[in-house]
Structure 1
Amino acid sequence: MKLKSWFAAAALGAGLVSGAWAKDIVDAAVAAGSFKTLVSAVQAAGLVDTLKGRGPYTVFAPTDEAFAKVPKEQLDALLKDKDRLRAVLTYHVVPGKVMAQDVKPGKVKTVQGQELTLTTEGGVKVDAARVVQADVMADNGVIHAIDTVVMPR
């Protein structure tokens, strides 16, 4: 399935389109329309099948505006380095399905292996990123849109 359908599903889950929510995280992100760079990165990293898999996953998904904050030369280099790109993208993914209302402050282990720091004072934050849209539903998890690309340490 193409990434466009992944984002289409996100729009469904976000209530942007009437009907049932997306079949998987990839389709949900495509449907949302605000994750074009992320979808391209997921394709480049070879992670489409993983995010279409059984899950469940919680994805803290940088918006296109979040990726626009990354200097162009740094983003271009990242997109060309498949191993580094996979590490950055999987740092945005947590095993399990965590809805915004269930987020607890503290550390959570990512699929990449390192920990993200979650805070809830003044809204949900993931490391230095703020959740700007929560609970975009998919059959295999949930997406929370964030305003900054977070990088593993």
Structure 2
Amino acid sequence: MNKFSRGTSAFLLAAALGAVAVPAAAQVMVGGAPMLPTKDIIDNAVNSKDHTTLVAAVKAAGLVETLKGPGPFTVFAPTNAAFNALPAGTVDTLLKPENKAKLTSVLTYHVVPGKWDAAAIAKMIKDGNGMASIKTVAGGTLVAKASGSSVTVTDESGGVAKVTIADVMQSNGVIHVIDKVLLPK
């Protein structure tokens, strides 16, 4: 954050994403559980009661070992409520073994190579004149924008997710909790 003065829009965007200075001992709570920066993405996610569907999907897709790997990864992590907002039967259908490729495609669309914290995303948005195109591991593109005091991520299908908790630091990357499942074309 020291790269930006308090008066810049980049600082405001970073603050909106949650990149505020906090004591090193402070822990981010997600789904009622502390997210420890010494643990990897999977080891933290399994403790969040708000991400049980995501964890089940990651297991069904065979992505556990990948997301336990060194990364770094940035994960836009939809909550259970986000999955529940999909049309009835969608999650059950995706979790079937015969749909593993489609499930993998959807999940890797939420993963970006590298560690992109709120300040880095805010800088990308500022440098992009209000929007930033972000390439996913699945090969698709997400578009991040500032929206009032928050940041949104738009998928290739026009769906818009709001970042509800930013900068959940992991030993192998960072998670940004979102309120909608992002869908590739």
Checking the alignment, whether the CA contact within 8 Å between 1:22 and 1:28 is kept in structure 2 is no
RMSD: 1.7
Judging by fraction of residues, say which structure has more helix: 1
1:25 and 1:106 mapped to 2: Cα distance? 24
Task: Find the counterpart in structure 1 of residue 92 from structure 2.
Answer: 76
Q: Write out per-residue CA displacement over residues 100-136 of structure 1, whole angstroms, 9 at most, x where no aligned residue.
A: 1221222110000011111123211111100111111
Higher mean alpha-carbon deviation, 97-106 vs 83-92, is at: 97-106
Amino acid at match of 1:119: K
Task: Tell me the secondary structure at the aligned position of residue 144 of structure 2.
Answer: strand
Task: Find the counterpart in structure 1 of residue 118 from structure 2.
Answer: 100
Checking the alignment, whether the CA contact within 8 Å between 1:44 and 1:82 is kept in structure 2 is yes
Task: Find the counterpart in structure 2 of residue 151 from structure 1.
Answer: 183
Q: Write out per-residue CA displacement over residues 56-88 of structure 1, whole angstroms, 9 at most, x where no aligned residue.
A: 000000001101101231221112210000000
Task: Tell me the secondary structure at the aligned position of residue 86 of structure 2.
Answer: coil
Aligned-pair CA distance for 1:13: 5.1
Aligned counterpart for 1:113 among listed residues 139, 164, 173: 139
Aligned counterpart for 2:28 among listed residues 14, 38, 54: 14
Amino acid at match of 1:67: F
Aligned counterpart for 1:85 among listed residues 88, 95, 103: 103
The reply to whether residue 57 of structure 1 matches residue 73 of structure 2 is yes
Higher mean alpha-carbon deviation, 57-66 vs 97-106, is at: 97-106
Task: Find the counterpart in structure 2 of residue 124 from structure 1.
Answer: 151
1:132 and 1:48 mapped to 2: Cα distance? 24
What percent identity do the matched residue pairs reach?
Answer: 50
How does the TM-score come out when normalised to structure 2? Answer: 0.71
Number of aligned residues: 141
Relative to structure 1, the CA distance from residue 22 to residue 28 in structure 2 (aligned partners, 3 Å threshold; closer, same or farther) is farther
Checking the alignment, whether the CA contact within 8 Å between 1:98 and 1:142 is kept in structure 2 is yes
Q: Write out per-residue CA displacement over residues 41-66 of structure 1, whole angstroms, 9 at most, x where no aligned residue.
A: 00000000000001000000000110
Checking the alignment, whether the CA contact within 8 Å between 1:38 and 1:62 is kept in structure 2 is yes
Spell out structure 1 runs of 4+ moving beyond 2 A. 15-18
Gaps of 5+ in 2: 1-25, 126-130, 155-159
How does the TM-score come out when normalised to structure 1? Answer: 0.86
